[in-house]
Structures are given as structure tokens and as C-alpha cells.
Chains A and B, each alone.
Chain A
Amino acid sequence: MKNHNVFRGALLLVLSLAVALVIGCGKKAVVQEEMGVVVKEPAKEEAAAETRPSEAAIEEELLKEKERQEKERVLREAASFGDIYFEFDQYDLTATARETLKQHADWLLANPGFDLLVEGHCDERGTAEYNLALGDRRANAARDYLVSLGVDAGWITTISYGEELPLDPSHNEAAWAKNRRDHFVVTPSR
């Protein structure tokens, strides 16, 4: 114990002298050189320490990239949810529409964590108001069918745009057929 104290005292003395030397001779070139040597050691250590987190960051980035790619794939699939189409003044689901909705339902059940917005649209013929109601019916027909296939009703919201947002603004049968649709917007759940 006593020896320890003596050693500690000696170390303190040496350190004090060294400090006094550094402070006292700070402006001398030789001492500066020595200081440079002293400083060099911790500098090396810092560099080593830097390398480790940086490797970790690269690994993390790789993981993120993979996640991002997976997310992109999911979003790409989500964005490619096909529209379904309706006959004039109808909101019954056609056989084709049911097939498409089955695919949408399968995807939603396989990829939980997504919300679905169903937009009901109409062609330009007829009254704006009646078409808003018709678009509402079209959106809800799809919603009800998805729910019947097991999709959680809480994931789905509907909106009618009536005849306000045609996909094809032309005034002919081909355009009207494209515009009588349900459009689907898939977004990650909030």
C-alpha cells in the first residue's frame, strides 16, 4: 500500500515535470517534435476506432439496400393493382372484375401492413350528381367483395370521383369504357 503511494507520488511528479516542460518550452522546435511523437499514439488508435463503426455502417447499408429493394418490389406490385371496369350505369362486378379483385385480395393478405383506397369513376355521360353516387357504388362494390374474400374492412377506404377525373378525356365509346372503373391506390399503413 505504502509502496503504491510512493509510486503514485513519483508518477505524479514525473507527469508534473513533463507538463511543466511542455508548458515552459512550448515554443521550442525540439519539444514540439517530442509532442508530435506523444500525440501520434492516440491518433493511431482513433483511426482504428474509426474503421470499426465504418465497417458496421457498410453492413447496415447493405441490409437497408436489400430492405429497400424488397419494399420497392412490394410497392411496385402495389402500384400495379389493375383497375376493374363496369358497364354503363352499372355497379355490378363482372367476372373479370372479380378475378382481378381476387388477385388484389390475395396480395393484401400476403403483404399485411398496407391500406387500400378504392376510387370509383364514371364516364362523362349523365349527371354529375348521379355519377358521383354511381362511382360511390362502384367503389363500395369492390370493397364489399374484397372484405368477403377475407380482407380486413379497416384497411379499405372508398371515394367517388364521379365523372370528374376521366382516364381518357376523349368523347367516344373506347374512352368511356376505360373511364368506367375502380382505381386502386395501395399505401403502407400509417
Chain B
Amino acid sequence: MIKKTFSILCFVIFLLILSVAAPAKVYMDILSPAFQKFPIALPDFSPLDGREGENPLFREIPGLLSNALELTGFFRTVDRNAYLESPETPEEDVRFADWRVIGAEFLVKGKLEAPGETLTIECRLYDVVEGKMLAGKRYTGKKGDEKAMVYRFADEILSALTGSRGVFDTEIAFSGKKNRLSDIYTIQFDGSNLRKRTDHKAITLLPRWSADGSKIAYTAYPRGNPDLYVLNLATGKTTRLFHDRGLNLTGGWSPDGGRMLIVSRRDGNEEIYVHELETGTSRRLTRDPAIDVSPCWSPDGKRIAFVSNRSGSPQIFVMDGDGGAVRRLTFNGSYNTSPSWSPTGSRIAYEGRAGGQFQIFTIDENGGNTIQLTYEDEGAESPAWSPDGRFIAFQGKRNGTSRISVINANGLNPRVLYEGKDLEAVSPAWSPHLNLY
């Protein structure tokens, strides 16, 4: 424990030295535990054609942008009451010192016009410390497209400051339980557009997205046995893929989309199989009398993390894609399950026990550097990484009410994505980019 605290302290000191020593142009690692949110100023937009005229969008659009950026947990909007400069100040006359003095490091200035049914907005992102423009875009569309335009420019901002776009165009699928039945639901990253996707009138569980986001595999009981189904999201059509007597559980779809990991007891006990979707053939990967479940792929599709109780209690293991080179990953505690491999990094999130509750942890793929990510009063379970590797969704509770939350991968900025009043929400699964905007 002391050793761990010390190593974290060393790490923090190292980061501090790094941030002091680094030249101003290098942006901080947004996933480091010492990350400070980017202070950004988002003043009202002004008319694009230069004429005066009130439009509620002048304020609404920077408001939407502020919400979008704050959803990511990487930004803090500087209090608009502190702004010294008039929104009408042309971009060539921006006084960066006036923004620096109120604590802003970044600034978005925008213009818009909305004649008839059309809407055009123009946005510019400035680094006020360096005094230069980092990104500029003009979007033209219909009235009502403002949310899409804002998410697109938020992606520009994220790309400019962090090197990759956001996940505004993703959805989180989960199993929603009600009256002893359940269904697969989806909800967008911003908490909008909750949709019920299945209707088996039976227990329906464990959603897993296909690599292209067009399908969701899940396990359901409409025929009195936990069978494996695939839902085509475009057509709404479901196909029953496996119905071996006993369990047919979903594992992960491979990153290349061609293979699916499944759990079946067709050979007498729970084993992991890889199913080739093209040929329809399955190959057995585990051969152990213990429970083997919850397989998921590494981002390169070459290794698989899974849960086994072969050493007496459920623990996370890693094996090669062909079932070889099995090694145990977790050794702390007697119950570590639900692995999810970061799509961009080398860390694996899982749920383990801490202080009588389940919490989310992450660990290096070679077994080192375990970090407890959540400290939820009523526990956290079933982690799922976002496709950019910067967020983790999990299931939890507040006052007994179930909810799905999202936390930054560094453990900061938890927010509630969905709170189930009459629906118990469990087993979140994060979609790939769906290009919704």
C-alpha cells in the first residue's frame, strides 16, 4: 500500500516536472491523473453578414458547444460574466490579453446567419496564450441542424487540442430490466435518444456491438433457453445464431468484424469459442473444467481477455487468439470479472471488490499498475470503453435506483448517462463511431 502510494506520488511529481519543463505548445496528456481541464471562453455568436439583429441562436449555439465540451470532462467554460470583449469584435481585432486575464486558455468566436430555412455558422478556435487560430470551419445546413454543427465543431476542437475527435456520434447499449423481463436499449453519448431495440418479451441480456456498429449480438430467452441472437439495427430484424442446450453467451466481435467470441456449454461445460461469421464454423479456445466466460478482444484482435475460476475464484486471464499462452492477469482480491480491453491502449478495465463493494479497476495488459477507477458508494460494475479509449461506461446505483454512468479513463469527471426510474439498466456496451452527425 505504502509502496503503491509512493509510486503514485513519484508519478505525480514526474508529471509536474514534465509540465513545467515542457514547451508551451505541448498539450497535457488528458488521461493523466494530474490533468487540469482546458479553460475555454465561449462568447455569444455575432451576425455573419455584419448587420445588427437579434437571434436567440447567438447565445444558444455557444451554450450547446459549452454543454458538448463539458460532457467530455476535458473542458471548463470560463464564466461568461467575466468576458471583457464585445462579441462583435472582429477576429482580426481580438485582444488575447483580455481573454488571458480572465483565465481562458482557449476561445471560440463564432458568427451565424439564418435566412429562411437555412442556417450557416462559422466557428474559430483560438489559443489565447499563443495568440493564434487553431481551427476554423463554416457549416451550412437547415434550421435544426445546429446540434449536429456544434458536435462537428466540438470534434474539431478535440482534434486540435487532444489529437483525436470526440465520441458524440456513439451510443451505449444496455439491458433494461422491468417486471422480470428485459430488452436491449440504446442511448446516445449525450444522454439523448433512448430507444428500445428488442421485443422478445423475455429475459434479454449482454449486448455486444459489431465492429461497424450495424448489429448488436445479445443473449435472450424467448424459447426457454439462453440463445444467442443478432439484431440488424437498420432493419430491426433479429436472427437466432446459436441455440445449444444451456448457455449461449455473447462475447466480443473481433475488431476486423469477421469473428465473434461466444460462450457455450456444448462440450459439457462453459468454454470459449471463436465463431467465423463468413464460414459459420466455430473453434474451441479453452479446455478447462472450470468456468470460462466474458471473452473480449485486444484492439489488434490477436489476444483475448476472459474470466475463469480455474484457480479457485473468478479472475481475469489473457490468452492468444488461438487459445494458447494462457496467463493470469489479476491477483488482488477473490472476485475480478467483466474485462474490457481499451480499444486504443494497452489497459484492461474490469470489476473487482474494494471495501465490500464492486468497483471498476484498470490494469496493464501485462498485469502491472492496477488502478481503482471508481469510488461509488453503492458500487460500480460492468465497465465498457468508448471507441476512443478516453471514457468508460459502467452500471451503478444511487439510493437503490439503477443507472449507467460515464467516467473519464483517468477516473475523473463521473456523470450519469441514464437513470432508470422503472427500468434497471445493466451491462453497458459502447458502440463504435456511428457517424450520426
Contact = CB atoms under 8 A, between A and B. Distances in A.
Contacts of A133: 247, 249, 263, 270, 291, 293
Interface stretch (A21-29, A92-100, A106-114, A159-167): A159-167
B335 interface: yes
A142 interface: no
A127 B224 contact: no
A127 B291 contact: no
Contacts of A130: 291, 293-294, 307, 314, 337-338
Interface in B340-359: 351, 358
Interface in B191-222: 203, 205-206, 219
A89 B313 CA distance: 8
Given A89-B313, A158-B246, A127 B263 contact: no
Contacts of B335: 89, 126
Contacts of A158: 246
Given A130-B337, A159-B225, A165 B180 contact: yes
Sorting the interface of chain A by its residue count into under 10, 10 to 19, 20 to 34 or 35 or more gives 20 to 34
Contacts of B206: 128-129
Contacts of B224: 159
B170 interface: no
Interface string A117-132: 0000000011111101
Contact of B294 (A125, A127, A157, A159): A127
B247 A136 contact: yes
Interface in B292-349: 293-294, 307, 309, 313-314, 334-335, 337-338
Given A126-B335, A137-B291, A132 B249 contact: yes
Sorting the interface of chain B by its residue count into under 10, 10 to 19, 20 to 34 or 35 or more gives 35 or more
B280 interface: no
A101 interface: no
B111 interface: no
Contacts of B426: 128
A134 interface: yes
Contacts of A132: 205, 219, 226, 247, 249, 293
A76 B98 CA distance: 84
Interface in B10-51: none
B265 interface: yes
Contacts of B270: 133, 136
B64 to A, nearest CB: 36
Interface in B69-97: none
A109 to B, nearest CB: 24
B110 to A, nearest CB: 45
A127 B246 contact: no
Nearest to B180: A165
Nearest to A91: B291
Contacts of A127: 294, 307, 337-338, 351, 381-382
Given A127-B382, A160-B247, A134 B291 contact: yes
Contacts of B314: 89, 126, 130
Interface in B235-277: 245-247, 249, 263, 265, 270
A158 B246 CA distance: 7
Contact of A171 (B226, B263, B400): B400
Nearest to A170: B400
Interface in A133-169: 133-134, 136-137, 157-161, 164-165
Contact of B203 (A89, A134, A164): A164
Nearest to B400: A171
B350 to A, nearest CB: 9
Contacts of A171: 400
A157 B358 CA distance: 33
Contacts of B427: 128
Interface string A56-68: 0000000000000
21 contacts: A89-B309, A89-B314, A125-B358, A126-B337, A126-B381, A127-B337, A127-B382, A128-B175, A128-B427, A129-B337, A130-B291, A130-B314, A130-B337, A133-B249, A133-B270, A133-B293, A136-B265, A136-B270, A159-B226, A160-B226, A164-B180
Given A127-B307, A128-B426, A129-B293, 5 more contacts: A128-B382, A130-B293, A130-B294, A130-B307, A136-B270
Interface of A: 89, 125-130, 132-134, 136-137, 157-161, 164-165, 171
